[in-house]
Amino acid sequence: MKIGANYLGGDRCEFVVWSPIRETVNLQIETPSPRLVPMTKDSEGYWRVTVSDVSPGTRYRYQLDPDTIRPDPASQYQPEDVHGPSQVVNHDAFNWQDGNWSGVPLADLIIYELHVGTFTPEGTFEAIIPRLGELLDLGITAIELMPVSQFPGSRNWGYDGVYPYAVQTSYGGPEGLKALVNACHQQGMAVVLDVVYNHFGPEGNYTRDFGPYFTSKYQTPWGSAINYDDAGSPGVRNFVVENVLYWFRDYHIDALRLDAIHAIYDLGAKHILEEMADEVAALSEAQGRQFYLIAESDLNDVRIINPKNLGGYGIDAQWSDDFHHALRTLITGDLTGYYKDFGKGADLAKALSESFVYSWDYSPNRDRYHGSYAGDRPPSQFVVCCQNHDQIGNRMLGERLSQLASLSALKLAAATVLLSPYIPMLFMGEEYGETAPFMYFISHSDPDLIEAVRQGRKSEFEEFHAVGETPDAQSIETFKQSILDWEKRSQGHHQTLLGFYKQLISLRHEIPAIKKGDRQNQKITSDESQKLVSYHRWTDNSQILCILNFNKQPATYHFQNSGQTWRKKLDSSDSIWMGPGSHLPDTINNSQEITLNPESCILYNC
């Protein structure tokens, strides 16, 4: 059931709001002609009314019983921030020019995660458009926007959103997002949107005033869980499922990244994720193009992506945190916190082979068994990375990998991700080694909430024994320090690293054995003593051998050749990549030992 303000044309608008706990609900139109309009309640707790003389731009709120005035929980625009009135939007008015767009297949996605506010100095959707050409030149096929639903103030990561249907005003609102999606599609690039269905933000969250949106049965790290299976949950489920369809239908988004689904609790016979997947499949069939759902989860639970006939929820893909952790520990040597579950070459080898390192194995960090086997699922169902907003921004100082590892190690990490059989994801600026941090920032208006955030961040990093002063998340300077410096792309080693990323993506497109992720035709090995990981993959007419040396010393690999001629396609040690120079043979025809430079990778194919 569609909810919110649904503009019907001809200055007529239908208003629908779910509020089963209220005795009366009235529509309070505030501009341009103030008036109070009674609404009618149905048996499921939905209040509705169709009103004439309502044009796009009309601002309104709901009067709940006699004395509570609140914005629309399904508001599509909040021009005066989270506490102000909602505004009617005419989605049919936008001039879409992507009629021939058919999307990007899941297996062809190369995702670029970005934060709208810090991607450009302007911090808007429109400001992204002129830079799409450089991302296309890099080889990116999809951008992933961190959450854009209305949050308090002008700067935030987006996970404090309180209006899931409303597009952030400071970013450019509904028109700005549509213009960006339209431009992406015209240039052949898909758009993934990060959405949050596990909690609402703390400021401007008025949903409790309308109905049982939360349940005390479960707790999340952010408070009470959203009510997906308790009394009154049908209206909550409809609110969220309709939001999923809304982004695909009204904004032409190609895929949704579902934030932290391990904090979405539902013990009903049909999990809310399964319901989402069913509805998206129906919409895909109706519109003749595929829409995707990609889950972020630390559960290592294959049921999330298994099809329904195998007892799964039918979500299209999910992140593999294990891949990141296994790679990160080899690159940095950091074994604190959850990283202590990793650190061996065998971990990365298993991640490359099966996606999950923990597939019902004992996890020292959790002190329990964890995960399930995913080695029979297609590699195109897994998104991997060496950096993302969480792994950077949840560090006290927001250091990127470029501040923690050498240029050689950065190239090695890039090769591991981009030559893997999975869907690769880059975090904005990674491709040229951006050194500006990406820190946690907010712009709340509640002084008590601001102080609570400050103290919470300070306490969190004290537990990690972090040294130094925790940056003030509320400070505008913390935000400004996180803005990308695009000028670096054309300077020194930043330009070289950018070229290396381009070459890796080009090889991914060019070589069938890389492009076609096939678990059956591969052999992955690790040598713990030398910190080497290698993988051999093949198709009918293409083979690759990639050797990754995570050792800070030279390491020897025994190349076993069965008579083919192997040709060197990429060596991160080459001087063109600002390496020490390659001494490895251009061709290999016989079995022999080869020695790799420290923190380097080599790719041969035949």
Instruction: Report the CATH number at residue 554.
Output: 2.60.40.1180
Q: What is the pLDDT of residues 133-182, one digit of tens each?
A: 999 999 999 999 999 999 999 999 999 999 999 999 999 999 999 999 99
Residues 133 and 277 in one domain: yes
pLDDT of residue 516: 81
CA 586 and chain centroid, separation = 39
Single out the residue of 385, 379, 391, 381 nearest to residue 431, CA to CA: 385
Residues 149 and 297 in one domain: yes
Residues forming the active site: 259, 296
Considering the domain boundaries, does residue 458 fall inside one? Answer: no
Strand, coil or helix: 512? helix
**408 with 599: CB under 8 angstroms?**
yes
Q: Of 89, 122, 147, which marks where a domain is finished?
A: 89
pLDDT of residue 460: 77
CATH number at residue 474: 3.20.20.80
Residues 552 and 431 in one domain: no
Considering the domain boundaries, does residue 513 fall inside one? Answer: no
Q: What is the pLDDT of residues 547-559, one digit of tens each?
A: 999 999 999 999 9
Residues 47 and 156 in one domain: no
Q: Of 89, 120, 144, which marks where a domain is finished?
A: 89
Considering the domain boundaries, does residue 432 fall inside one? Answer: yes
Reported as a pLDDT band with limits 50, 70 and 90, residue 500 is very high
Considering the domain boundaries, does residue 482 fall inside one? Answer: yes
Residues 321 and 394 in one domain: yes
For 88-153, list the strands marked E by DSSP.
Answer: 111-114, 142-145, 149-150
Residues 423 and 555 in one domain: no
pLDDT of residue 517: 72
Spatial separation of the C-alpha atoms in residues 435 and 399, rounded to whole Å: 8
**60 with 17: CB under 8 angstroms?**
no
Backbone dihedral angles phi then psi of residue 491, each to the nearest 5 degrees: -125, 130
Reported as a pLDDT band with limits 50, 70 and 90, residue 465 is low
Residue 568 per-residue DSSP state? E
Backbone dihedral angles phi then psi of residue 143, each to the nearest 5 degrees: -100, 145
Give the domain extent around 528.
522-605
pLDDT of residue 270 exceeding 70, the answer is yes
Q: What is the pLDDT of residues 92-122, one digit of tens each?
A: 999 999 999 999 999 999 999 999 999 999 9
pLDDT of residue 464: 57
What's the domain count of the chain? 3
Share of the chain above pLDDT 70, in %: 99
Residues 496 and 561 in one domain: no
pLDDT of residue 507 exceeding 60, the answer is yes
Considering the domain boundaries, does residue 353 fall inside one? Answer: no
Task: From residue 61, give the alpha-carbon distance in Å to each of 18, 25, 444, 475.
Answer: 14, 10, 22, 32
Looking at residues 180-209, what average pLDDT do you find? Answer: 97
Q: What is the pLDDT of residues 314-340, one digit of tens each?
A: 999 999 999 999 999 999 999 999 999
Residues 582 and 527 in one domain: yes
The dihedral built from the CA positions of residue 158, 255, 511 and 305, taken in this order, carries a sign that is positive
Tokens coding 494: 């930043």
Paired with 538 in beta bridges are 543
Q: Residue 515 burial by CB count (10 A; 0-12/13-18/19+): exposed, middle or buried?
A: middle
Residues 134 and 63 in one domain: no
Q: Of 31, 58, 89, which marks where a domain is finished?
A: 89
- Sequence-distant (≥ 6) Cβ neighbours of residue 254 within 8 angstroms: 103, 104, 142, 190, 191, 192, 291, 292
Q: What is the pLDDT of residues 235-263, one digit of tens each?
A: 999 999 999 999 999 999 999 999 999 99
pLDDT of residue 540: 87
- Report pTM: 0.97
pLDDT of residue 466 exceeding 80, the answer is no
Residues 386 and 430 in one domain: yes
Considering the domain boundaries, does residue 67 fall inside one? Answer: yes
Considering the domain boundaries, does residue 366 fall inside one? Answer: no
H helices of 315-467, in order, are 321-332, 345-354, 389-393, 407-418, 447-463
Residues 539 and 601 in one domain: yes
CA 257 and chain centroid, separation = 5
Residues 494 and 530 in one domain: no
Considering the domain boundaries, does residue 216 fall inside one? Answer: no
CATH number at residue 83: 2.60.40.10
